[in-house]
Structure 1
Amino acid sequence: MNDAPRPGDPGRNAYLAEGNAKQARKRAAADALVRDGDGRLLLVNPTYKDGWDLPGGMAEANEPPDAALRRELREELSLDITSLRFLCVDWVEPHGPWDDYLGFVFDAGVLSPEQAAKLKPCDEEISEHGFFDVTEALRLLPDRQRARAQQALKVLDDGIPRYLRNGVPC
């Protein structure tokens, strides 16, 4: 017999809150494909890890991934993006000291020459940025992010969003 309080019963919210506190929490990251008029990809060079990265970052507690991405772009590059299009989400297994997480990639569109010229790192987490042709950009990205970026680029071509596990379509 189920002793769970029914809707409207006193104590139901406390019961649900207790269950919520015991459930797994997932970290989430959100990155962007940002391009210039020549089709080159924007990459950033983080100061806190080796290698280049797609612009974006980790979501804060209870922050939607798209809002996290907009916040990160604004904080790190003074870039305000109004329109985002979902491309893929990647479940990444636990690795090193990290638990699993969900890595979202959104299309942030093509910047005008004026927007691209105004970009500048404005956060100590980013040492530099640059636009790279796709082949070079993929070469510069770490393995995990390269796999995710390759799949996101395929979505730009075929319009079919993807769910990935460790960078591989399911």
Structure 2
Amino acid sequence: MDLTPYVDNLRQELAVAAEAGGDDARALAERLTAPLESAARLTLLNALSAAMGEVTRELAPGSVDVRLRGLDPEFVVTAPPAPEPFREVREQAEPLAAPMPPPPPPADADDGTMARINFRLPAHLKARAESAAAAEGLSVNAWLVRAVSVALDGGGRTSTPGRGKESGGRGFTGWVR
């Protein structure tokens, strides 16, 4: 998004307002326009960032982020995941086997290197993650590490006993709103 037209419009409005004050006011306005340009850009970026924060709260679990590229902001939209299509479950049931999430990896299992990331998520998801971690007696960080590990190594899907393909009868899987 190019902020230049908005900053130029502000500069023109300041010049028009200074015309009413005479030559001294016009000269002062000309001297102030250069320093005001960076302040105007920063103010516009703050307003855009706040607006995208509100949009993100409404889109959760999707999000809209504002990134600065040079002098201009860029919007990055992350859509919420699409619901799974409905599919028919096979007639024959497989033995009931509820996969258990793997325990957190032992501390000596990794090579000792750690990577740090900043992870932003909506407040309602953060509260749920904190509750789930507390219920399992883990820190939020340990719980998130395990959740990522399960999602990447274990397929990321668990099933509910008595539903879906384990239930035996004819059924459907998917999400409904």
**TM class by smaller structure:** under 0.3
Between Structure 1 and Structure 2, the one with more strand by share is: 1
Quick check: which has more Rg, 1 or 2? 2
Q: TM-score, normalised by structure 1?
A: 0.21
Q: Identify which of structures 1 and 2 has the higher relative contact order when contacts are C-alpha pairs closer than 8 Å and 6+ apart.
A: 1
TM-score scaled by length of structure 2 = 0.20
| Higher share in helix | 2
